[in-house]
């Protein structure tokens, strides 16, 4: 008999019973409505075994990759440990390996952790220090055999967490990590599809991870990155991106400046406007947008009007909290 585990509870599923029916029969209060896999309000995530493919019908590809499924149409084929989408079940300790200044106000923070931690490049986690103060930052690297996580953290005016990282955090110090979250990630299966990536500020971080993930999986379609800043310091990692563009035939990099006169090789204007002007159509393209919420929301609409399918637009808006940090919130 197949068992369903949620939190500290484990229940046996009856013959031909769905996961939702099993949970409701055992008095678990679960969100649900249509019970036919249409409204998707009951969506859950399998934390161990992949769910049946049939239970992922209609779910966005990035969610399928993370083992999300619809319990109302899922008749389990094996034991499953499940959780609601926003249910945090992991909290691990990570240690600072490296802190490198990559621009006047931007730190590249590298952490290492022990044990198992599942994530995809482009997702974000909550970083928490010992007193409980936490902020969300995007992961800038692909999974690494040495259990490495990289973040790009911009120091904000009066930012409690970002200033602490910038001024006080040092190698060997400990932080706590939440589960990885977010759907702004690379999905394989369409290696020839053109990719457009637009980021502002440290919105570059998840895009770098997504690009490296795509290249590691032999993506053959063109990959266009447009990264924008108000001043030259905002175009951090420009040398690395230019070097990548020089060595990878299908990767193209365009740095953009909106607040000062650019030097040779840098486009004038906002990154999303430069990108949309350069592309006659986005029909058949996959689009990734990371950075300022206004840019993200405007470009989602413009990309759709240029032909991109809504299912092929992935967005991660960086909201500035008061009084601190740039939190990655998937929209």
Check pLDDT > 80 for residue 110. yes
Question: Distance between CA atoms of 141 and 139, rounded to whole angstroms?
Answer: 6
Please state, in angstroms and as integers, the Cα–Cα distance from residue 170 to each residue in 96, 131, 149, following that order. 7, 16, 15
Q: Inform me whether the pLDDT recorded for 327 exceeds 60.
A: no
Whole-angstrom distance, CA of residue 245 vs CA of residue 117: 31
Whether the ω angle into residue 53 lies within 30 degrees of 0, i.e. cis, is no
The DSSP-derived string for 129-185 is -TTS-EEEEE--S---TT-EEEEEEEPPTT-HHHHHHHHT--TT-EEEEE--B-S-S
Preceding peptide of 73 cis, ω within 30°? no
DSSP-derived letter for residue 161 is: H
Task: Output the pLDDT for position 134.
Answer: 92
The C-alpha angle 146, 150, 153, rounded to 5 degrees, equals 160
Per-residue confidence (pLDDT) for residue 263, from 0 to 100: 80
Separation CA 202–CA 140 (nearest Å): 10
Distance CA 7, CA 35 (A): 22
Specify the pLDDT at position 330. Answer: 33
The pLDDT assigned to 87 comes to: 67
Residue 264 is predicted with a pLDDT of: 82
| Pairing verdict, β 195-200 and 223-229 | parallel
What is the pLDDT, as a whole number, of residue 318? 72
Task: Determine the straight-line distance between the first and last CA of the chain, rounded to whole angstroms.
Answer: 39
Q: What is the pLDDT of residue 312?
A: 94
- The rounded distance, in Å, linking the Cα atoms of 242 and 219 is 19
Domains and their CATH numbers in the chain: 3-83 (3.10.20.30), 91-178 (2.40.30.10), 195-330 (3.40.50.80)
Looking at residue 90, its pLDDT comes to: 61
Query: Which two three-digit tokens encode residue 193?
Result: 């599809």
Percentage of residues of the chain with pLDDT beyond 90 = 72
Instruction: Tell me how crowded residue 14 is: count the other CB atoms within 10 A of its CB.
Output: 12
Question: What confidence tier does 188 reach under pLDDT thresholds 50, 70, 90?
Answer: confident
Collapsed DSSP state (helix, strand, coil) of residue 214? helix
Q: How many other CB atoms sit within 10 Å of the CB of residue 99?
A: 17
Q: Give 19's Cβ-side CA count (13 Å radius).
A: 34
Task: State the chain's mean pLDDT as an integer.
Answer: 91
d(CA 208, CA 241): 9
Q: Over 70: is that where the pLDDT of 320 sits?
A: no
Q: Is 100 left (phi over 0), alpha (psi -120 to 50) or beta?
A: beta
Give 156-173 pLDDT, tens digit per residue.
Answer: 988 999 999 999 999 999
Question: How confident is residue 308, by pLDDT bands cut at 50, 70 and 90?
Answer: very high
pLDDT at 322 over 60: no
Return the structure tokens found at 74.
Answer: 């899922």
pLDDT bin (cut points 50, 70, 90) of residue 107 is very high
Does pLDDT of 205 surpass 60?
Answer: yes
pLDDT at position 319 is 60
Q: Which of 75, 95, 68 is nearest to 149 (CA)?
A: 95
Give the predicted TM-score (pTM) of the model.
0.82
Per DSSP, what are the bridge partners of residue 3? 12
């Amino acid at each position: 008999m197949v068992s369903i585990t949620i939190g500290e509870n484990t229940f046996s599923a009856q013959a031909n019973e769905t996961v939702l029916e099993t949970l409701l029969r055992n008095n678990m209060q679960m969100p649900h409505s249509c019970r036919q896999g249409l409204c998707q309000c009951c969506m859950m995530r399998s934390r161990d075994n992949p769910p049946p493919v049939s239970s992922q019908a209609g779910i966005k590809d990035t969610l399928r990759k993370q083992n999300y499924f619809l319990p109302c149409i899922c008749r389990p084929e094996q034991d499953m440990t499940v959780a609601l989408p926003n249910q945090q079940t992991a909290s691990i300790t990570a240690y600072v390996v490296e802190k490198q200044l990559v621009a006047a106000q931007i730190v590249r923070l590298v952490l290492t952790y022990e044990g198992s931690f599942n994530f995809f490049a482009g997702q974000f986690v909550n970083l928490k220090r010992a007193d409980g103060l936490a902020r969300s930052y995007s992961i800038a690297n692909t999974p690494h055999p040495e259990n490495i996580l990289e973040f790009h953290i911009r120091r904000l005016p009066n930012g409690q967490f970002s200033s602490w990282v910038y001024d006080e955090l040092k190698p060997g110090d400990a932080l706590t990590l939440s589960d990885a979250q977010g759907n702004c990630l690379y999905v394989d299966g369409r290696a020839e599809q053109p990719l457009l990536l637009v980021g502002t500020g440290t919105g570059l971080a998840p895009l770098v991870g997504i690009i490296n993930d795509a290249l590691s999986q032999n993506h053959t379609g063109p990959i266009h990155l447009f990264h924008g800043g108000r001043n030259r310091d905002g175009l951090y990692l420009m040398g690395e991106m230019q070097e990548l563009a020089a060595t990878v035939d299908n990767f193209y990099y365009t740095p953009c400046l909106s607040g000062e006169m650019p030097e040779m090789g840098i486009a004038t204007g906002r990154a999303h406007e430069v990108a949309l002007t350069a592309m006659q159509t986005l029909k058949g393209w996959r689009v990734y947008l990371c950075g300022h919420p206004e840019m993200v929301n405007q470009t989602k609409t413009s990309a759709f009007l240029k032909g991109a399918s809504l299912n092929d637009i992935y967005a991660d808006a960086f909201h500035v909290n008061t009084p601190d940090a740039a939190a990655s919130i998937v929209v």
